């Protein structure tokens, strides 16, 4: 009795198995990297530099505070008089702690108002962000309006906090506001760009040019909108770079998110391939590609012969996807179309360089042939000389005729 033959796996099954193995190994490698990753190693070079500089500045501030507080003990009475001044009775403060205690005691209400106003400002900002987050967690339009409202409230809270703090310290805010009326023209001239940015930002939101999360091209820079403020719009490109663009300087905007992005691909097949055979393969295999690339919204669709290259007939395909997936989807579609041609033995031509070395076996000229060639060359030169002489004589005759006529 014959044993049943074991079925050989198909090429697609082998590729699927290899891909699963590669994905498993990649996942294991990622888990190992995550286990070995420390807080410091997870930071970029710029983040590490910023952290080191911040630590140095923080340490310098602590050292300066320590030297200031104990200035009398470390440097003597003269330096302490410069650092703290003197008491109302003319005596010196023992150290910085005593100076701070008396200062806070004499201005306790002002300090209380200042600290309270700052705390309230932080609370209002946090509460505003929380409330806006509740109403804008869905929908790009709501996120855009929320970003603008958040920016507006932040500026208003800062101005109110400054006014309350100055009033607590005895500053007449009303007189400052009145004096600002005199400087309005000067400030207006100096802040024209700021006013233009704010007005342009309002029109951007009202006219709905783009929303937070949209992928746009603004004046040649492509990126995802991360924030729309009163003054500027922030974009983040594929490399993680963030660019802030003043709203008033925006001249052209191309929104790539409002409609599906179009992918166009041309792939060449040899002139030796029968066009009807190639199109039959395309009709049979193209629907399978859609299943392999879930990011596709529609297509891929065959649209006919794009043109005729030097060595290939160009077959044209289109598909659509979301803009944020366009680059990767294009790469995936290129791979699948190439495999479709190769698996069905459709030849894809490519440029080749053919080098023809000199052949030493080629026959050389005989002596008789050399003499014939020399005679031919001499006769050619004689004809050229006679032609030149005729041209010179003709020019002389023409010049003489003109002179006689004159």
pLDDT by residue (tens digit) across 147-180?
Answer: 767 777 887 888 888 888 877 777 776 666 666 6
What is 202-262 written as a DSSP string? Answer: HHHHHHT---TT-EEEETTEEEEEEEE-SSEEEEE-TTS-EEEEEGGG---EEESSSSPEE
Residue 71 lies in a domain: yes
Confidence grade of residue 397 (pLDDT, cut at 50, 70, 90): low
Q: What's the rounded mean pLDDT across residues 52-56?
A: 83
- Residue at a domain's end among 59, 88, 106: 106
Write out pLDDT tens, residues 178-193: 666 655 555 555 566 6
Kindly report, residue by residue over 284-301, the tens digit of the pLDDT. 888 888 888 888 888 788
Q: Is residue 88 part of a domain?
A: yes
Q: Quote the DSSP letter at residue 324.
A: G
276 part of a folded domain: yes
Domain containing residue 325: CATH number: 3.30.70.100
Asked if the model's pLDDT at residue 317 lies above 90, the reply is yes
304 within some domain: yes
Contact call for residues 233 and 249 (beta carbons, < 8 A) = no
In a domain, 287, yes or no: yes
Is residue 226 assigned to a domain? no
Give the CA distances from residue 147 to residues 159, 194, 215, 240, in Å, rounded to whole numbers and listed in that order: 19, 18, 17, 20
Q: Which of 261, 347, 264 is nearest to 300 (CA)?
A: 264
> Is 331 within the bounds of a domain?
yes
Asked which of 343, 366, 393 is the last residue of a domain, the reply is 343
Domain span including residue 89: 45-106
pLDDT mean across residues, the chain = 75
Residue 278 lies in a domain: yes
- Looking at the whole model, is its pTM more than 0.75? no
Total domains, the chain = 2
Among candidate residues 72, 90, 106, the one where a domain is terminated: 106
């Amino acid at each position: 009795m014959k044993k049943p033959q074991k079925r050989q796996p198909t090429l697609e099954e082998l590729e699927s198995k290899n891909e699963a193995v590669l994905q498993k190994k990649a996942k294991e490698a990622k888990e190992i990297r995550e286990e070995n990753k420390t807080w410091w190693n997870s930071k970029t070079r710029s983040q590490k530099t910023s952290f080191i500089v911040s630590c140095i500045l923080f340490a310098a501030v602590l050292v300066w505070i320590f030297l200031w507080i104990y200035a009398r003990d470390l440097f003597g009475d003269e330096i302490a008089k410069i650092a703290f001044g003197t008491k109302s009775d003319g005596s010196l403060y023992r150290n910085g702690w005593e100076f701070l205690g008396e200062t806070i005691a004499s201005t306790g209400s002002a300090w209380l108002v200042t600290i309270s106003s700052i705390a309230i400002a932080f609370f209002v900002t946090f509460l505003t962000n929380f409330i806006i987050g509740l109403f804008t967690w869905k929908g790009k339009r709501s996120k855009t309006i929320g970003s603008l409202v958040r920016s507006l409230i932040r500026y208003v809270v800062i101005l109110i906090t400054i006014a309350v703090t100055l009033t607590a310290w005895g500053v007449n805010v009303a007189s400052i506001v009145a004096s600002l009326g005199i400087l309005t023209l000067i400030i207006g001239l100096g802040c024209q760009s700021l006013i233009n940015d704010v007005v342009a930002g309002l029109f951007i939101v009202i006219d709905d040019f783009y929303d937070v999360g949209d992928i746009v091209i603004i004046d040649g820079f492509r990126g995802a909108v991360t924030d729309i403020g009163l003054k500027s719009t922030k974009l983040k490109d594929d490399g993680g770079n963030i660019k802030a663009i003043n709203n008033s300087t925006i001249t052209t905007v191309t929104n790539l998110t409002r409609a599906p992005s179009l992918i166009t691909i041309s792939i060449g097949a040899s002139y030796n391939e029968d066009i009807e055979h190639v199109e039959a393969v395309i009709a049979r295999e193209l629907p399978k590609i859609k299943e392999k690339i879930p990011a596709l919204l529609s297509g891929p669709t065959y649209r006919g012969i794009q043109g005729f290259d030097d060595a290939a007939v160009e077959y044209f395909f289109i598909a659509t996807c979301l803009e944020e997936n366009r680059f990767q989807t294009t790469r995936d579609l290129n791979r699948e179309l190439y495999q479709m041609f190769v698996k069905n033995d459709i030849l894809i031509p490519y440029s080749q360089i053919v080098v023809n070395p000199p052949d030493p076996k080629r026959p050389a000229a005989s002596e008789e042939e050399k003499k014939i060639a020399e005679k031919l060359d001499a006769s050619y030169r004689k004809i050229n000389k006679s032609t030149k002489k005729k041209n010179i004589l003709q020019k002389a005759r023409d010049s003489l005729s003109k002179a006689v006529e004159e």
